[in-house]
Amino acid sequence: MVFYKYQGTGNDFVMIDDRENKFDDQNLDLVSRICDRKFGIGADGLILIRNHRDYDFEMIYFNADGSQSMCGNGARCAVAFAGFLGIIEDKTHFLAIDGPHEAVLNQDVVELKMGNVKGITAKNGDSFVNTGSPHHIRVVEDVHNYPVFEEGKKIRYREDYAPGGTNVNFIEALDKDEIFVRTYERGVENETLSCGTGVTAAAIAFEQEKSDAEVKIKTLGGNLSVRFHRNEDGSLDNVWLIGPAKQVFSGKMELSN
Ligand SMILES: N[C@@H](CCC[C@H](N)C(=O)O)C(=O)O
């Protein structure tokens, strides 16, 4: 089977054109073997692109361990891949696990419209925001030297997030509209270089004053930006995640069960 590898600010994905529905999406062991960095291709996640009657395409996303959720960087990469396959031109309307999304593709840059967000839940000085995937957010002083893996793992498995768990983001303010974000991702069970739903949640938790905001984000894997509109009841719409998505290589894999 032919596969492609994409990365969106260092969050990397195996991409498969599965418009003929040949990939067994119930075989989660196969997904985790493909994503294994020593015994497989290696990636934070695997994405299938499938046909859908009402949309340009459907994105089926798996974390490296085979679990499923919404993936912002993965969706940006899926849009770039759909452009590469000729399924879309510069604008698209596609379906993901959390519902429909719009996106605009401009060379390597993808602007992705996220789902509406209910609001922010206070968590003892930290925050929680669901942007299609669950995200705990903590503001720290020196994010580069913060023990993201150790602290992230503790929060990920906390009882208040059981049984599903949560992703965990640590953020440092760099300027009035700029933050650095590091994320521990559930389903990868490690820090990734960037997390799209995570930086979106972090931007929403960070910028609580303005009704229309744009936040610049730095991650270990590159730069993103997030803009959104906050309604009077605290809910958010017109939430956009913007950044690069690139094909890095392609190859052929043997599919053995
Ligand atoms: N890397 C992703 C998030 C993927 C899903 C997450 N690990 C979860 O299980 O909630 C992103 O870019 O949003």
Q: Which helix (H) or strand (E) holds 180?
A: strand 178-185
Cis amide linkage into residue 134, ω under 30° from 0: no
> What is the spatial distance between Cα 193 and Cα 44, in angstroms, rounded to a whole number?
10
Report residues whose beta carbon is within 6 angstroms of any ligand 1 atom: 11, 63, 67, 69, 71-74, 133, 167, 185-188, 192, 195-198
Nearest alpha carbon, ligand 1 atom 3? 71
| Residue 139 and residue 179 in contact, taking contact as beta carbons nearer than 8 Å | no
Rounded to the nearest angstrom, the distance between the alpha carbon of 70 and the centre of ligand 1 is 6
pLDDT digits (tens, 9 = 90+) for 82-127: 999 999 999 999 999 999 999 999 999 999 999 999 999 999 999 9
* Residue 77 annotated to the active site: no
**Is 197 within any annotated ligand binding site?**
yes
Mutate to test the pocket of ligand 1, among 110, 137, 167, 193 (most ligand atoms within 8 A of CB): 167
Mutate to test the pocket of ligand 1, among 185, 192, 199, 224 (most ligand atoms within 8 A of CB): 185
Q: Which helix (H) or strand (E) holds 227?
A: strand 222-230
pLDDT of residue 257: 56
> What is the spatial distance between Cα 204 and Cα 10, in angstroms, rounded to a whole number?
22
Ligand 1 atom showing the smallest separation from residue 75 Cα: 12
Give me the CATH topology for the region 2-109+245-252.
Diaminopimelate Epimerase; Chain A, domain 1 (3.10.310)
Tell me what the mean pLDDT of segment 179-205 comes to.
98
**Is 196 within any annotated ligand binding site?**
yes
- Burial class of residue 177 (count of CB atoms within 10 Å of its CB; 0-12, 13-18, 19+): middle
Rounded to the nearest angstrom, the distance between the alpha carbon of 8 and the centre of ligand 1 is 12
CATH for 121-244 is: 3.10.310.10
Identify the bridge partners of residue 250 per DSSP, sorted by sequence position: 4
Q: How would residue 4 be classed by pLDDT, with cut points 50, 70 and 90?
A: very high
Catalytic residue, from 15, 48, 71, 137: name it. Answer: 71
pLDDT of residue 254: 81
Q: What are phi and psi of 155, to 5 degrees?
A: -70, -40
Of all residues in the chain, the percent with pLDDT exceeding 70 is: 99
Rounded to the nearest angstrom, the distance between the alpha carbon of 230 and the centre of ligand 1 is 23
Average pLDDT, rounded, for the chain: 97
* Residue 195 annotated to the active site: yes
Q: What is the residue extent of each domain of the chain?
A: 2-109+245-252, 121-244
Equal CATH topology for 2-109+245-252 and 121-244 = yes
Ligand 1 atom showing the smallest separation from residue 183 Cα: 1
